[in-house]
Amino acid sequence: MPELPEVETTRRKIEPLLVGRVLTRIEHDAPHKYLGTHRAEGRTVTGIGRRGKYLLLQLAASEAAEDETNAEYSGPLELLVHLGMTGGFRLEHGKHTRVTLHTDEGAVYFNDARKFGKVAVVRPGEYAAFPTLHGMGPEPLSDDFREADFVKLAASAGAVKPWLLSQKPVSGVGNIYADESLWMSRLHPAQTRLRPAEARKLYAAVREVMAAAVAAGGSTLGDGTYQQHDGEAGLFQLRHHAYARNGTPCDRCGVTIEKIVLAQRGTHFCPHCQVLKAR
């Protein structure tokens, strides 16, 4: 995480800062980690999209003769950004600045304390080097996310939480919103092979949770994680029912929320509302 709501909030906020600007130079000291960034230099940002948790900065074709470093390919490009766990954009250089996007109208800084973030420049749609992006499931808030498809896939799925986190049945769900969606649909995180009625509830919960979280500007955690570049915090953390609520009473039944580790992830659920069924 940041997950879809935090990434979408970031997208909306950096759009006016970058669209229409020329990336004059991209500065960082980890060429093995931030790939092909020199290819973006001299190009105009024409738009910023998002796919799951990836930001996709569209870069205009270069005027070939103008920039020799891009002589090998002058068509449009995409600059991918994944925020990882702690990535975000800032308007000032900081201790954790990893990548600086110099533009013709000032710089924008990519900060990432824990260095799980990714930056790469690729040809549009060329995601072979990013298997998760390549195999990304439908956007949860789009018409491409269809209940019937989801129900069918869920019938043969393994443990539902890791399945959601795989980005295959639906994109953009991370640890917070997986726990929230499962709480809402009363499913145990380790439940396998969902019945159609269960899968329909989960489908509705994912849509509802994601829509509400986007509208709230995402979740900003107690330590300030996922705060936006302008210092604004999301508000959805105030409506978490499961995530980081362990030790407190379930908002539905009053039984204490538990925390377990499932597939290496902290996992929060209500042991009374979310019962594992043998299948």
271 touches DNA by CB under 7 A: no
Which one of residues 144, 266, 275, 277 is an interface residue with DNA (CB under 7 A)? 266
261 touches DNA by CB under 7 A: yes
Residue 53 a catalytic site member: yes
197 touches DNA by CB under 7 A: no
247 touches DNA by CB under 7 A: no
Report d(CA 94, CA 107) in Å as an integer. 12
Ramachandran bin of 254, using left for φ above 0, alpha for ψ from -120 to 50, beta for the remaining angles: left
Question: At its nearest, how many Å lie between DNA and the CB of residue 134?
Answer: 8
Q: At what angle do helices 196-215 and 175-184 cross, to 10 degrees?
A: 130
- Measured from the CB atom, is 42 or 202 closer to DNA? 202
Instruction: Please report the sign of the dihedral spanned by the C-alpha atoms of residue 109, residue 34, residue 225, residue 135.
Output: positive
| Inter-CA distances, 176 with 2, 32, 173, Å | 9, 30, 8
Listed ranges 20-28, 67-75, 158-166, 208-216: which one lies at the site for DNA (CB under 7 A): 158-166
258 touches DNA by CB under 7 A: no
Residues 6+ apart with CB under 8 A from 89: 10, 13, 14, 17, 108, 109, 110, 111, 229
Residue 195 a catalytic site member: no
Residues designated as active site = 2-3, 53, 265
Footprint of DNA (CB under 7 A): 1, 3, 52-54, 82, 84-85, 95-96, 113-116, 118, 130-133, 157-159, 162, 165, 167, 174-176, 223, 259, 261, 263-266
